[in-house]
Structure 1
């Protein structure tokens, strides 16, 4: 009788827990992909499309946008120059792929490290930048968080410079938009680096894998990212005529799907057709099912 009574109590408690808000939050955080998307019009200073834009996600290599922001800031302040050489540490050399293949003790210029971080999304180059500026990657993460707060990225926490997965490293689509806006606004002299699709290092040419920047006419660049905890992510800035749009896509199941979502949304809000503005991405984007709502927000609520 005691055994049956205890079993009944256990079942009742389990049912109550499953129905509780706490259980709902647990289910939510276990999701491998948490799709979010937005399109921002820099001319009207409004968000034209918004889907889950405040949901916390893991940024993956979109983290490198902040790493580069801080590097640009040091260049602008005269604390670094593009020709300065960084000596690669063991910590940087031991970064896991994607990487440039830097070896401990060799040198890389600040310009090369920035280009490798943007174009190849090289984790070893991002670590090298972090250590050059912060003394250590952990101290650099503190600088990143302080800057995120200054830029109004209220729901962002950085733990490293590369975006290598740390469950505590989180952000939102809105916060990534704020960072993208700041990169263009604060560093017009260095911002064009995001448009480049290849770079040279030690007499070898390295190609990037941002196919939207390569193939979408008017694309000004920005960054790709992927980790299994968040899916395939992308921030893209593009200009057509006098209009500049910034898009953020989080949680694509594949790079192809992610790129297709971005292209579909940019085309829609540029009021153009895929045929007109896509040079070589010929596959039909599989993105309509996540386009669920359009929200118009004033930029003073965002940046």
Structure 2
């Protein structure tokens, strides 16, 4: 039986969980679609046509990088692995690092080429290496989109080169970005935050990469994430910023020019930081509760979360929130670090965020003889 525990608290907040009404004074007047979310809880802070299906251009590569980092997480790939460029990968047009057929380069350099220079040839080379073929990789992309509950997304390639049946929406891009940051962590952001870098260093073929995301030098705290442009998609941008331990993600789609795109992203980010703040419920690695597994055995576990449990609140507003802990069935045996349940934050009956909880200690099933001994002992 699933066990639930409720905690009710009062905080200073106004929490928009689903779509937020567009501002009377629109901060993104030239964008076809836009969204601003808090990265951990996925709370929507600003919304404009965020569910409309549009062409993503190279912001597609967020999903390509998601599958790359999942392969690294699952020990199927490492940054030191050599990736060989196929004839098809070398033939890619658009943004590229001019890989040659048969050329081998480390995944680290391929990743930098994708994240910094938006290289189509590197994207295809990595995709083929992971899945065996680009068609199989696209299937993986669409499967992952379903798994992430991206309702308005469909992929036809790993690059974002135009295809009428290749689309997403601002909301789905924001969710992809949040997941990529979650699984990529510092390995991701240490690269996406670079304004420039090199591949093939210490060789005659050394190649200078310059980041397509100019906000790295225009807006304090920006450390990613991905730009995009095709004639059909217009100018697109997915940006993430961390200030005072608060990370937000902004998405703009179908802007008319890069300058306008950058200016409106800055305006949207300013809106987020000027109107919202982060409330921390539980700090990372603090004991949320001592959960009793077996009263007779006096068996308990210290339940913690590996990240701050927090949500973004509007300044100078009051509201109530509740937290609910749902534990897994049949927990025993438990090893330190095992996920044992989920903490859900709710505002006005709407989910504001969910967080995995883990045990900070081992816990094992009592043996028949230990139970018998305790029963016998209790009689005297």
TM-score normalized by the length of structure 2:
0.62
Match of 1:249 among 249, 252, 258: 252
Cα 1:156–1:36, aligned 2, differ >3 Å: closer, same or farther?
A: same
Q: Which moved more, 1:193-202 or 1:227-236?
A: 193-202
Partner of 2:155: 158
Q: What CA distance in whole angstroms lies between the structure 2 residues aligned with 1:70 and 1:254?
A: 30
**Contact persistence 2:216–2:223 (CA under 8 A):** yes
Cα 1:184–1:107, aligned 2, differ >3 Å: closer, same or farther?
A: same
Partner of 1:59: 56
Shift of 1:265: 0.8
**Contact persistence 1:56–1:172 (CA under 8 A):** yes
Shift of 1:220: 1.9
1:197-217: CA deviations, max 9, x gaps? 222112332111210123211
1:101-147: CA deviations, max 9, x gaps? 11101111111111101110000000001110111111110011111
Shift of 1:43: 6.2
Q: Name whichever structure is richer in strand by fraction.
A: 2
Match of 1:200 among 186, 198, 209: 198
Cα 1:133–1:78, aligned 2, differ >3 Å: closer, same or farther?
A: same
Unaligned runs of 5+ in 2: 1-29, 201-205, 276-349, 355-380
**Contact persistence 2:153–2:172 (CA under 8 A):** yes
Partner of 2:104: 107
Shift of 1:196: 2.0
**Contact persistence 1:34–1:230 (CA under 8 A):** no
Partner of 2:228: 225
Partner of 1:168: 165
1:177-213: CA deviations, max 9, x gaps? 1101111222324232222222211233211121012
Q: Does 1:210 align with 2:213?
A: yes
Q: Does 1:130 align with 2:127?
A: yes
Unaligned runs of 5+ in 1: 1-32, 273-296
Partner of 1:9: none
**Contact persistence 1:45–1:298 (CA under 8 A):** no
**Contact persistence 2:42–2:175 (CA under 8 A):** no
Partner of 1:21: none
**Contact persistence 1:100–1:122 (CA under 8 A):** yes
Cα 1:168–1:43, aligned 2, differ >3 Å: closer, same or farther?
A: closer
Shift of 1:239: 1.2
TM-score normalized by the length of structure 1:
0.77
Match of 2:113 among 108, 111, 116: 116
Q: Show the 5 A alignment for 1:186-197.
A: 186-192=183-189, 193-197=191-195
Cα RMSD after superposing both structures: 1.9
**Contact persistence 1:57–1:172 (CA under 8 A):** yes
Cα 1:45–1:201, aligned 2, differ >3 Å: closer, same or farther?
A: closer
Higher Cα Rg: structure 1 or 2? 2
